[in-house]
Chain A
Amino acid sequence: MLNLTDYLSIAPFLVIALTGAAVLLFDLVFPKNKNLLIGTSLLGIVGAAFLTGRLWFQYAEGFSFTVSGDRFALLFEYVLLIIAGLSVLLSDRYLQLKNINHGEYYALLLFSTSGAMLMASAKELILIFVGLEILSIALYILAGFARTEEKSEEAAIKYLLLGAFSSAFFLYGIALIYGGTGLLTGLHGQPAPTTQLDHIASIVMLHGFNAYVVAGIALLFVGLFFKAAIVPFHVWSPDVYQGAPTCVTAFMSAAVKAAAFAVLIRITETFLQIDPSEFGVTSDVARQLALAHHVITGVLWAFAAITMIVGNVVALWQTDIKRMLAYSSVAHAGYILVGVLASNDQGRSAVLFYALIYAIMNLGAFGIVMLLSDEKQERSRIDDFKGLAYKHPFTAVLMSIFMFSLAGIPPAAGFFAKLYLFSAAVQAGDPGIAVLGLLASVVGVYYYLMVVVKMWMVPEDRDITTLTWSWGSRVAVLICASATLLLFLFASPVISTFSGSDVTVSADDYSAASAAPVEPVAPPKALAVQPHVIGATAIAQR
């Protein structure tokens, strides 16, 4: 039976989804008044933020421990709400210009946000998948929102096909883990297949791995890497980012990444949080766990390295600012992966901080890109920025702030965001990836500063007379710019709020395994295999 706590735990994203439905209906009744829709959306977002704050002080975990109200989830929910709020503010002028100012835009944005928030707080794989689909399906539509434009259509169909593939990978991973945990527990009694992350953690801690669980984890990673655009699963992102309406691209680049990394951290922690040294070195399960630790960190290391390098290097050749920011977003996903890799309290808070800063500076940059377009054409070439500073110095200053922040140069918050990430990696005893990340971001400085150089030092070759500000985009871009500067000054109090945001993947409340203590039961003879044949265990003994 559900009780109030269950509803409290999902209240923030419930409110967002209901606001989306309300926006749909308001649009029908008052089709002319888009400001009403913006107001309603913002009201819903503020309401959801309030409810999230309530959960902060009154911990609620709902639906049989599948929806978590831990601080990690709540902080990600805040980040997502900020992204949604800024996107709602940024969009209206651009939507009018492109003649796609339909009320459904705001509704879909809110639905998508509710899915992302569900992903951030779900502790159960099926629920995470449901969140992933709510997030993605709304975005497939949004990517093709400029439906008279061929590019937008192309972006939508590419995103739909590849997104569906990645969802299928994720789902198949869940199925394999469900079967694998059933087999593992079945060897010692009642099979208890599960998709709940804390149950999986305790089963793995007691019984080790088998082939199904290993393959399942790999597929989960593939699915999430697709969503977060990690190399080599990034190929869709430049085309989709370029083709989709710019306001959608801004939302997509920030929100999907935040949600995907929230899930990635939760899943990684499930398997990395277990400390094999707690067990005796003699235990085979302990040896399997140690090997799994090595393999998972090794794989994440490789993906982080290649993502940072490819993202930054390919971005150098881009002439379109949206494509350039797409590759830059790939590179930033690589940086965030370094924090995931660190897999400690510092890494977690650094990832949270980075997700927040990245969202703010990226939304700001896209906000400026949106300004350049006019009724006649979309202007998204980097050359379109030429000489912007002569006509509109203030706008150029704002864009420069965002570019400096993305490049990680002080006095912008992007500097501290990178600093915390790389120092978390050093703390975790992996200076190599930090050095690699620093070198990659040095490459990145070139293409970010190229935009700044074009704005300030190259004379304009076209007539930039009017920039299409609206009150909403003005407010949003100013918020982004001031937050980018202020978070540089107040980085340390913010990061200290973020630290200690433990992911609650504890094995304590797992009753099926409670018969055995944490010290693993002596594994039966057949299970006693060498670590290098990990995974063959369950099948081999048949």
Chain B
Amino acid sequence: MVTVAPTPGDYLPLLILILMGAFIAVLLVALSWILGPKQPSVEKLSPYECGVTPVGTARDRFPIKFYLIAMLFILFDIETVFLYPWAILYRNNAYLSRGFLLGEMTVFIAILFVGYIYIWKKGALDWE
């Protein structure tokens, strides 16, 4: 609980932390770049593609379906993330009854379920 008005000075440690973080990151990269031995070969210089030999250019056109899947993935991913803080609160909460918390989450899931039915019926999950 803050008891006095925050001053700009209160944020100084935060600034120092950011600067230190940036400094160490730059330092480590710079050191390994300066000190490390360099024996380049064609394989080493090629872009990393999960161990597979790279094929073609990266600036290629790909089906818009990927975007759709990515968007839906993010939506339902975030839904899952919301479940974690809720689960913690559900266990240790002195203010709200468990029935109420369960009800709130049920409403939340129900809304998402409506969305799920919608995208399913609209065929957004079918690849072909």
A35 located at the interface, meaning its Cβ lies under 8 Å from any Cβ of chain B in the complex = no
A24 to B115, CA, bound (A): 9
CB distance from B102 to the nearest CB of A (A): 14
**Cβ A186 vs Cβ B114 within 8 A:** no
Residues of B within 8 A of A21 (CB): 111, 114
Q: Are A186 and B5 touching (Cβ within 8 A)?
A: yes
B interface residues (Cβ-Cβ under 8 A, vs A): 2-8, 95-97, 100, 111, 114, 117-118, 121-122
Q: Which residues of A contact B121 (CB under 8 A)?
A: 28
Q: Mark A22-33, 1 if CB is under 8 A from B, else 0.
A: 001100100000
Given contacts A21-B111, A24-B114, A25-B114, 14 further A-B contacts (CB under 8 A): A1-B95, A1-B96, A2-B100, A24-B118, A25-B117, A25-B118, A28-B117, A28-B121, A28-B122, A182-B5, A183-B5, A187-B5, A191-B5, A191-B6
- Cα distance, A542 to B9, chains bound together (Å): 10
For the complex, is A190 an interface residue (Cβ under 8 Å from B)? yes
Report Cα–Cα, A186/B7, bound state, in Å. Answer: 10
Q: Which residues of B contact A25 (CB under 8 A)?
A: 114, 117-118
Residue ID in chain A nearest B5 by CB atoms: A186
B6 is contacted by which of A1, A2, A182, A190 (Cβ under 8 Å)?
A: A182
Min Cβ gap A540→B in Å is 13
A305-345 contacts to B, CB under 8 A, are none
- In angstroms, Cα B110 to Cα A330, docked, is 41
A190-B3 contact, Cβ under 8 Å, with A1-B96, A28-B117, A28-B118: yes
Q: How far is the CA of A412 from the CA of B7 in the complex (A)?
A: 59
A28 to B6, CA, bound (A): 54
Contacts of B114 in A (CB 8 A): 21, 24-25
Range, interface on chain A: 10 to 19
- Name A184's closest neighbour in chain B (CB-CB): B5
Contact B6 A186 (CB under 8 A): yes
Find residues 13-51 in chain A having any chain B CB closer than 8 Å to their own CB: 21, 24-25, 28
Alpha-carbon distance between A25 and B115 when the two chains are bound, in angstroms: 9
Residues of A within 8 A of B7 (CB): 542
Q: Give 10 closest A-B pairs by Cβ, nearest first.
A: A186-B5, A28-B121, A191-B5, A21-B114, A24-B118, A183-B5, A187-B5, A191-B2, A1-B96, A542-B7
A1 to B100, CA, bound (A): 9
Which residue of chain A has its CB nearest to the CB of B121?
A: A28
Closest-CB distance, A214 to chain B (whole angstroms): 18
Residues of A within 8 A of B3 (CB): 190
* Chain B residues closer than 8 Å to A187, beta-carbon distance: 5
- Residues of chain A within 8 A (CB-CB) of B117 are 25, 28
Q: How long is the Cα–Cα vector from A186 to B8 in the complex, in angstroms? A: 13
The reply to whether B95 and A186 form a contact with Cβ atoms under 8 Å apart is no
Considering the chains assembled together, what is the distance between the CA atoms of A191 and B117 in angstroms?
47
The CA of A183 and the CA of B111, in the complex, are separated in Å by 40
Distance of A21 Cα from B111 Cα, bound (Å): 8
Contacts of A183 in B (CB 8 A): 5-6
Smallest beta-carbon distance A24→chain B, Å: 6
Nearest Cβ on chain B to A377's Cβ, whole angstroms: 29
Q: Which residues does chain A contribute within 8 Å of B111, judged by CB atoms?
A: 21
Q: How many Å lie between the Cα of A174 and that of B96 in the bound state?
A: 29
Give the chain A neighbours of B6 by CB distance below 8 A: 182-183, 186, 191
Minimal Cβ-Cβ distance residue in A for B3: A190
Residues of A within 8 A of B2 (CB): 191
A24: chain B residues at CB < 8 Å are 114, 118
B108 smallest CB distance to A (angstroms): 13
